Amino acid sequence: MFYNLKKNRINAALICCLTACILFTMFFLSLTGCADSQNTKEINIAEQFGIAYAPLQIMREQELLEKALPGVKINWKQYGGPTPIREGMLAGEVDFGFMGPAPALIGIDNGMEWKYATGISFNQVALVTDRPEINSLRDFSDTDRIAILSPGSTQHILLCIASNQVFGDPNQFDNQIVSLSHPDAMDALIADTEITAHFSTPPYLDKELAHGMKIVTTGEEIMGQPFTFITGVAMERFYEEHPEEYDAILLALNTAIDYINNNMDEAVAVLAPIYDVEEETLKNQMTYNGTIYSNELTGIDKLAEEMYRIGVLKNKINYHDVVFPESRGSNENSKKE
């Protein structure tokens, strides 16, 4: 009996030792896994729909960032408007986002710690309708519904500025706007639903005009000058903590912009399958009146002034305070021909 008790104690001791070894090994492996996880870098980039974002598609297809940042995982996310991009950046789920200039200004006005990093394109943005009786903002009835991306989007702000110019009231159409992505808004307008107008951009603008619709007003008419329509913004934290990745994004974007501008036919051949359109049609859209791919930031001051004037911004915003130093070289008030 003493022998069996001693044997049992030895077995128990062995079991305890083995258990301790296993637990130690698991703990060590978990630490190793955490270290590996921490060493795995990822960059999350958010974009939206339309040919205004064409340079980003070139970046993806040619893997420009992957080549510049070997070992870094590049995650691309596509959203139907600026609101989820802002939410993603606030949550730390998006590092670099592309959107119209107005949502960026609203974010800054509300304490968002992000700044403009670059422009990406100038594009025609226009209010389009399928109703023959509507020729100006004054012709809209109370029952008409106007599709925009979301409240606070650049299209919405342009509508508010135009409403203030015509009616002296930037909120004239507040009860008539409907938030829809560009593809959904176009489909709703073509299908002759309750949507009677859409603040549109190419390629959706072109398709709507091809269906016999017409332009009521354009962004350039409302602003009185051309302006950067799509901008890239980054959180200040990302800019400060990841300078190599930040610089790589801007370099890759500039490379993609130069590629499009210098090799339009090749770029169209690459992009046509992505946008699911014929090459000739896409080339017409990418060279459409007002479409310019450029990293310049133009008209930001003018837009900020208008937004402050109509009460969208609580504070006056200075261009140089909201743009990262490397990107301030553009003349924000210059006019593009």
Listed residue (238, 259, 262) closest to 249, CA to CA: 238
Task: Give the strand pairing for 126-129 and 214-218.
Answer: antiparallel
How far apart, in whole angstroms, are the C-alpha atoms of residue 269 and residue 335?
Answer: 31
**In the block, residue with structure tokens 């915003």:** 317
Tell me which amino acid residue 180 is: L
Under 8 Å between Cβ of 272 and 285 = no
**225-278: pLDDT as tens digits:** 989 999 999 999 999 999 999 999 999 999 999 999 999 999 999 999 998 889
Architecture field, domain 42-122+227-327: 3-Layer(aba) Sandwich (3.40)
More confident site: 203 or 262: 262
The whole-number pLDDT of residue 329 equals 59
Tell me which amino acid residue 154 is: T
The whole-number pLDDT of residue 333 equals 42
Tell me which amino acid residue 335 is: K
Q: Which CATH class is domain 126-223?
A: alpha beta
More confident site: 217 or 288: 217
Q: Phi-psi region for residue 311, left (φ > 0), alpha (ψ -120 to 50) or beta?
A: left
DSSP assignment of 244-257, as one string? Answer: HHHHHHHHHHHHHH
Residue 199 pLDDT exceeds 60: yes
DSSP at 52: G
The whole-number pLDDT of residue 276 equals 87
**7-64: pLDDT as tens digits:** 444 344 434 443 444 344 344 344 433 333 344 489 999 998 888 899 999 999 999 9
Under 8 Å between Cβ of 244 and 251 = no
How far apart, in whole angstroms, are the C-alpha atoms of residue 270 and residue 220?
Answer: 30
Tell me the residue length of the chain. 337
Under 8 Å between Cβ of 48 and 120 = no
17, 81, 239, 296 from 51: Cα distances, Å: 64, 15, 27, 17
Q: Phi-psi region for residue 131, left (φ > 0), alpha (ψ -120 to 50) or beta?
A: beta
% the chain with pLDDT above 70:
85
Q: Where in the chain is the domain with CATH 3.40.190.10?
A: 42-122+227-327, 126-223
Strands (E), the chain: 42-47, 73-78, 96-99, 114-122, 126-129, 145-148, 177-179, 195-200, 214-218, 230-235, 292-293
Under 8 Å between Cβ of 205 and 195 = no
Residue 121 pLDDT exceeds 90: yes
